[in-house]
């Protein structure tokens, strides 16, 4: 006799996506028309950040296993997510300075600077700064962020991969420190770029990372210009310095050797 077919209980679109919870999570603190826009943009961004962390954490694991095919797909997906995040600033930029200042008193000390998911994404990609943990002191996210600070980043795993492939690179270091460009790593990537056919998977990995950083920096730049457009150069909420902090973040690089190598090719 054949086994009975077990069907899942009926589940609706709204139930599957928990729409009741999601759509009731917007709770404006004022009667201002534009506050809902502000809330939705930031909540949607946090969902995209959650997916980005999910994808890049998995990509890091695949690279550690020398299984680069799935990692390529995951990194590319995050690059496309960055496109969505960049476009979100276009929507928020429809808010004028007067409209923002009408809702600003209702924000209290809340600030995007306090986003633990954004910090997690930075740590995962390699922008380590132990001082940033203080922002999250006393929160539920602090322990996870501290663990991420001490763990190998996505790029650290790429450097370890180079070492396993026979390149003379320093593969072990204090993971809690920001990665500083190393001439030996630049030289290793130069070998890859000069002979892409021999090192095709490493070459493709490098280009996936470059695309990821390019998109991430475009997102940061769009954020900066949106802030300048709406509040100018005033300090941000929550104690952040506003536009000046965002501008400084653009000076760094997650994968510095991959940009330095281009100069010598």
What does the pLDDT look like over 41-84, one tens digit per residue? 999 999 999 999 999 999 999 999 999 999 999 999 999 999 99
Confirm or deny that 220 is annotated as ligand binding: no
Angstrom distance (rounded) from CA 246 to CA 243: 5
Rounded mean pLDDT of the chain? 92
The single residue listed with the structure tokens 């924000």 is 107
Q: What is the pTM of this model?
A: 0.91
221 is in an annotated binding site: no
Is 142 annotated in some ligand binding site? no
Q: Is 169 annotated to bind ligand?
A: no
38 is in an annotated binding site: yes
User: Is 42 labelled a binding residue?
Assistant: yes
Residue 5 backbone phi and psi in degrees, to 5: -85, 120
**2-6, 62-66, 89-93, 261-265: least confident range:** 2-6
Which one is predicted more confidently, 143 or 172? 143
Exposure letters 53-86 (e unless 16+ CB within 10 A, then b):
bebbbebbebbbeeebeebbebbebbbebbeebb
Q: Say how far apart CA 43 and CA 37 lie, in whole Å.
A: 10
User: pLDDT at residue 3 above 80?
Assistant: no
> What are 212-247's pLDDT values in tens digits?
999 999 999 998 899 888 888 777 665 566 677 778
- Cα distances from 4 to residues 10, 25, 76, in angstroms, run 18, 41, 41
Total residues belonging to the chain: 265
What whole-number distance in Å separates Cα of residue 11 and Cα of residue 169? Answer: 53
223 marked as binding residue: yes
């Amino acid at each position: 006799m054949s086994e009975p077919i077990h069907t899942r209980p009926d589940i609706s679109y709204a139930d599957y996506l928990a729409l009741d919870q999601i759509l009731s999570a917007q709770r404006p603190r004022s009667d201002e028309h534009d506050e809902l826009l502000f809330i939705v943009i930031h909540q949607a961004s946090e969902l995209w950040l959650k997916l980005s962390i999910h994808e890049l954490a998995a990509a890091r694991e695949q690279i550690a296993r020398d299984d680069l095919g799935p990692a390529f797909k995951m990194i590319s997906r995050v690059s496309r997510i960055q496109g969505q995040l960049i476009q979100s600033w276009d929507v928020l930029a429809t808010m004028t300075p007067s409209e923002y200042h009408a809702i600003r008193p209702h924000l209290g000390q809340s600030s995007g600077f306090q986003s633990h998911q954004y910090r997690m994404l930075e740590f995962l990609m390699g922008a380590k700064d132990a001082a940033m943990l203080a922002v999250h002191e006393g929160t539920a996210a602090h322990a996870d962020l501290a663990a991420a600070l001490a763990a190998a980043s996505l790029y650290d795993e790429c450097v370890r991969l180079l070492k396993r492939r026979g390149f003379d690179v320093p593969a072990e270091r204090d993971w809690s420190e920001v990665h500083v460009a190393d001439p030996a790593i630049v030289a290793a990537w130069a070998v890859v770029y000069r002979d892409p056919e021999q090192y095709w998977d490493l070459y493709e990995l490098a280009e996936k990372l470059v695309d990821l950083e390019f998109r991430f920096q475009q997102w940061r730049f769009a954020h900066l210009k949106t802030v300048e457009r709406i509040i100018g150069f005033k300090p941000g909420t929550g104690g952040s310095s506003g536009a000046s902090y965002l501008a400084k973040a653009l000076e760094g690089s997650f994968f510095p050797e991959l940009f330095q190598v281009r100069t010598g090719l």
